[in-house]
Structure 1
């Protein structure tokens, strides 16, 4: 679990997970119409509270992909607290001696869409009549596949990506009463009980090499790790899906992935898929499949963001896109193939450019940002969306290009840190308070600051805090955010779901003066113009325009 430790809580040593075969210390009530009985599979000591047990199970329930490489996500259909037990009795399974306090219904979506989805009830129980913080309260979470839907849609077969079980029960068992002979007070424990399918009985006890036991071991170990992290005060650091919906992007990504995996020439023998074609025809020294799936992910994210940014033009930037420092041109090719007008620019032509069909517009040029920005003409067509996907030394210039291009916006995905004239080497960076004061408050904050925090809430959900101590890339993110603010844009950052360690995108689409009127707005616009001119003038002495290499100047 990616997170940062809560400074207000003293660090404690992480308890080692030791899973042992469970014994039926307290038997679970049978489920209605259940053919088989509960089988205790595995247990372990629980050096954390019942509330953190619930929180850890919730995290894993909402994010099943954390524990399975074959699951894409869970679509949450219902998520409700059930404080009214009369309401609970009408909507959930009653368990003797337990009150149901929460219900989540989810639809598991596999990575391979042909494998089909599965709906599941996730029911949270507590000892009847007890409070969550009661020392003797027992917690229980049931995971129940919807077999009626499975029977209708899949012949009653449980999909392979889910354990072949009729139900699972995660349990939090309070410590037994201590005695005078105990050298240490007994601790609470967690336990996983399973309910076998009628067609697949389980041996009692489960052998340690049995597949269900190994699955139970992995699930309980993961739950133990997350709950211990919560108990130690860890907080989520990397927040995804803040600027585009997870479901929308993932669904489009898989559509595009299947499309570009499909045959390019169906009648050709042997059949050639896009990745195989890239493997054989790719002319660069880099890994073609790495580039393909990275750029398919960026393409999917951009298309979803553009759909909401440009509803009047059917989700297409009015001035087209400009892929600055496009390199192998694959992102330009993918966007062009999906019907988005635009072009890519790079210092030199790449061998791969000639292989693309349909052929996108890929141009060679040696950009000189200070000269380009000193011209009275806009550097790019009005309404352009500028893309800097690992654009190296052009990365810090994108906010300035966007500031000088009417009605434009941009996405920066930085890789190698650069300033306007040199390498960025600092390991710390702090955005001046006056720029933070100019930021509007966000409508909602998934990770609110403490009252004493000096961080602006708009920057909290992102990878880099406002005052970094996480190394050069943290500091560089803040440097780019500061540049973005100077150029009049509100920096919005996203941890993109792409197979790359350099996956933090910074989006500039909203202006800092959008909420201002009259003279205040005019002053803000004039200040940005003056700041951009100042930065351009300052960089003229140090910037050295690179020249096209090899035969690039002939294209």
Structure 2
């Protein structure tokens, strides 16, 4: 296989090969008597083809996403924008709260900001007068570190300048100049956090020389004809030059670490500019007149933070990590690496807590006022695995439970009242149960009296007469009404999740979140779903993908780069749908829509490549919950009973139609049910020593 080579961000031939400290020279545009600005030809890249709008779009994107340049950072909160386009955390939180059932003032003043409470008090630093440039915009941002125990937040002012030189004799076009100066709100070198370059200020200068093209005049064939007028020049492709300018602290020089940081910043700017696409096709002309400024700097992936604001989830994640991570990692008893599972479940818990805040108006226990009862329908984590997610949610005051086909060693490290809510049970879908042994009547589950009750549980009591000859209790998903269903890397239960939620209460199907992982058919057998209609049918099989990866590894020698290349190949929607994971996600969404759900998908910020979440029934639940009185019942419940019964019959019919269609490949529902039961019997016995996966899902 031919190895694909990537063009390096910079041309090595333009570098001097000397230490950066030996190549510094005064900055021609920023150096003054009071500030000793410097630059270097090693911090300059010529011959770039990006129009200024590309650099502007990329700069605004990196303003809110400094984690692209530093892994020690979470994000940047915008505290002030002179143009009023970029929103502050308070504005995002209040706008988000208005779409759900959370209290707008509470979400903006308590758990919503966590570090930006005093954003209105932060004033921008004074703008410098730069000869020949005009100040066009001022933005103040707050850099938020991943670990607040190690690093503190840092406020930074970003001043935007522009200049333009007109066409002069001897040149083909004018020069458009863009300058951005970053100034941290500090005065001493020792106050600089580790994640920030040890500089008083840093500036990016981009000079774009616009060329013009004069079309060749049409020659006349007959002398009697009048000469053709000279064609009007039209804009042509230009070339740009990107330069970094630095303002060092007094008596400090360029260190090796600072030199690497500056080179990395320049490389990242150039590399990302190559993949930056402006919002309108006319951007290629180099004119900004037709470009909507509000769209510049937008999130490069529309599936990120499309349901919940980034800062809400990350602030909650930081709190949960501080509270639980160290203890869980120290007491980990599985053979797997604890950090991966612990931090992934902490991230999912943070997402759920903020999701439920919006849907139900319920907050974590620490934020609740004592007189206010907790109005939450409860949750169930299907195929809960190590139980960490259930443990965190219960500790945060959310009533619920989880089940898995096998008890995990991790369950034993939790308090007794937590262990009682982790059940070793096997889910037998109701359509399969009906097909094999007829309808099994399970006792009506008792609702929990109080979330803190260590004995109460939402789990149904499994029938003592097990009709499936399994050495483990079974159930058919007969949960309390409105239970929120969590399906986190549940494998065989992934596509069943929307069907399970719909059958729970067909009149008002329960909401759910499914995070797909491995692909299985409804029978539980491994199965790769074809890409949805409209996607390319040239998707490779999983075996072909593995063979290609094995062939590439010896050539590349860099597994991290290879993994990044494979992710980039699936970055587009079409590429994502070609993959097995994309097809599974699309199938889960299609089944949910088929049975009547309004479905959304969002990329979770979790340490896993299987990070797509399918959320069903979010908006409908918010509307229903908003119309409920205290105690969770609708005040007009009696008026909608008839409509609910009709809707229930329709939903059950759609579920059964989907089940029958999907099970046809196994020979029908009964045949698929037997496969499911046989697989359940094998799962209960446990995997062989060579197939054990530890405490993960």
TM-score w.r.t. structure 1 length? 0.75
1:347/1:175 CA distance change after superposition, 3 Å: same
Which secondary structure does the structure 1 equivalent of 2:426 belong to?
A: coil
Q: Report the CA distance between 1:59 and its aligned residue.
A: 1.7
Q: Report the CA distance between 1:484 and its aligned residue.
A: 1.0
The correspondence of residues 103-502 of structure 1 with structure 2, limited to 5 A, is 103-114=138-149, 115-127=151-163, 135-147=174-186, 157-175=191-209, 187-200=239-252, 202=253, 210-230=256-276, 236-237=300-301, 239-262=303-326, 273-278=327-332, 282=333, 284-311=334-361, 318-357=376-415, 359-360=417-418, 361-369=421-429, 370-371=431-432, 379-406=478-505, 407=508, 408-421=510-523, 422-430=525-533, 465=573, 469-502=577-610
The whole-number CA distance in structure 2 between the counterparts of 1:510 and 1:35 is 55
Q: Report the CA distance between 1:343 and its aligned residue.
A: 0.9
Whether the 8 Å contact between 1:463 and 1:474 is mirrored in structure 2 is: no
Whether the 8 Å contact between 2:519 and 2:529 is mirrored in structure 1 is: no
Moved more, 317-326 or 543-552: 543-552
Q: Report the CA distance between 1:105 and its aligned residue.
A: 1.0
Whether the 8 Å contact between 1:466 and 1:478 is mirrored in structure 2 is: no
Whether the 8 Å contact between 1:333 and 1:359 is mirrored in structure 2 is: no
Which secondary structure does the structure 2 equivalent of 1:549 belong to?
A: helix
- Which position in structure 2 is the counterpart of 1:436? none
1:390/1:90 CA distance change after superposition, 3 Å: closer
* Bigger-Rg structure (1/2): 2
Residues 335-354 of structure 1: per-residue CA shift (max 9 Å, x gap): 12222211111112122222
Whether the 8 Å contact between 1:318 and 1:383 is mirrored in structure 2 is: no
- Which position in structure 1 is the counterpart of 2:43? 42
Q: Report the CA distance between 1:415 and its aligned residue.
A: 0.7
The whole-number CA distance in structure 1 between the counterparts of 2:581 and 2:259 is 42
1:196/1:175 CA distance change after superposition, 3 Å: same
Q: Report the CA distance between 1:232 and its aligned residue.
A: 9.8
Q: Report the CA distance between 1:491 and its aligned residue.
A: 1.2
Q: Report the CA distance between 1:394 and its aligned residue.
A: 1.0
1:48/1:521 CA distance change after superposition, 3 Å: farther
1:333/1:196 CA distance change after superposition, 3 Å: same
Which secondary structure does the structure 1 equivalent of 2:176 belong to?
A: coil
Q: Report the CA distance between 1:483 and its aligned residue.
A: 0.7
Q: Report the CA distance between 1:161 and its aligned residue.
A: 1.4
Q: Report the CA distance between 1:521 and its aligned residue.
A: 9.4
How many residues are aligned here? 472
The whole-number CA distance in structure 1 between the counterparts of 2:383 and 2:350 is 20
1:511/1:29 CA distance change after superposition, 3 Å: closer
Q: Report the CA distance between 1:416 and its aligned residue.
A: 0.7
The whole-number CA distance in structure 2 between the counterparts of 1:197 and 1:130 is 36
Unaligned runs of 5+ in 2: 1-5, 17-22, 86-123, 168-172, 213-236, 282-298, 366-373, 443-476, 536-569, 625-638, 664-668, 688-697
- Which position in structure 1 is the counterpart of 2:105? none
Residues 406-457 of structure 1: per-residue CA shift (max 9 Å, x gap): 352111011111221243313411389xxxxxxxxxxxxxxxxxxxxxxxxx
The whole-number CA distance in structure 2 between the counterparts of 1:325 and 1:508 is 18
- Which position in structure 1 is the counterpart of 2:224? none
Whether the 8 Å contact between 1:431 and 1:479 is mirrored in structure 2 is: no
- Which position in structure 1 is the counterpart of 2:473? none
Which secondary structure does the structure 2 equivalent of 1:76 belong to?
A: strand
Which secondary structure does the structure 2 equivalent of 1:188 belong to?
A: strand
Alignment RMSD (CA, Å): 3.9
- Which position in structure 1 is the counterpart of 2:134? 99
The whole-number CA distance in structure 2 between the counterparts of 1:365 and 1:504 is 26
The whole-number CA distance in structure 2 between the counterparts of 1:536 and 1:507 is 20
Whether the 8 Å contact between 1:99 and 1:129 is mirrored in structure 2 is: no
Whether the 8 Å contact between 2:362 and 2:376 is mirrored in structure 1 is: no
The whole-number CA distance in structure 2 between the counterparts of 1:381 and 1:158 is 53
1:344/1:463 CA distance change after superposition, 3 Å: farther
The whole-number CA distance in structure 2 between the counterparts of 1:313 and 1:375 is 37
1:82/1:414 CA distance change after superposition, 3 Å: closer
Q: Are residue 27 (structure 1) and residue 62 (structure 2) matched? A: no
Moved more, 508-517 or 421-430: 508-517
Residues 161-197 of structure 1: per-residue CA shift (max 9 Å, x gap): 111111111011234999xxxxxx9932100010111
Which secondary structure does the structure 2 equivalent of 1:294 belong to?
A: helix
The correspondence of residues 499-514 of structure 1 with structure 2, limited to 5 A, is 499-510=607-618
Which secondary structure does the structure 2 equivalent of 1:109 belong to?
A: strand
Q: 1:532 aligns with which of 651, 655, 667?
A: 655
Moved more, 387-396 or 108-117: 108-117
The whole-number CA distance in structure 2 between the counterparts of 1:298 and 1:249 is 9
